[in-house]
Amino acid sequence: MNDGDSKPTSKLDVGRVQMATHFGRRHLDEWIAAAERAWADKDRDERIAAQKCRWCFYARGRGGRIVGHGFTTRACASCEAPQTYSSTAANPLCMPCAQRLGLCVECCADIDLTDRRKLELVSKPKRKRRQ
């Protein structure tokens, strides 16, 4: 709609429906594939090295955040040390604090997405991987 007009922005035709169907199917397939990768967690070693939870690593994708250009400085949410990033995608935690606390560097969730009652990381038994 443009300027309060009740006319559609473009005429509906079979080509438009086919294109929407194609992209809808493609996005759904990508979403299902990401869920399967997250469930299997086959790249766990890479995910842990990147200090990311399953959601940020698999669902958001590697580099899947929307960013703006320009240097950004943000204080770490834990130690408050200033962190400088080359884009606006600034992580809330610095890597040392994320590792020390066992949290995702991007979203601050527990790196294994397990519930916890304390901020500090408590030694927990290794979980078996789901098959």
Give the highest mean pLDDT range of 2-11, 39-48, 59-68.
39-48
Q: Does residue 14 belong to any structural domain of this protein?
A: no
User: Is the entire prediction scored with pTM above 0.85?
Assistant: no
Q: Does residue 53 belong to any structural domain of this protein?
A: no
> In the predicted model, what is the mean pLDDT of residues 17-44?
91
Q: Does residue 35 belong to any structural domain of this protein?
A: no
Q: Does residue 101 belong to any structural domain of this protein?
A: yes
Q: Does residue 96 belong to any structural domain of this protein?
A: yes
Domain that holds residue 112: 64-125
Domains held by the chain: number: 1
Q: What angle do CA 124, 125, 127 make, to 5 degrees?
A: 115
Q: Does residue 9 belong to any structural domain of this protein?
A: no
| Residue 124 CB neighbours (<10 A) | 11
Q: Does residue 5 belong to any structural domain of this protein?
A: no
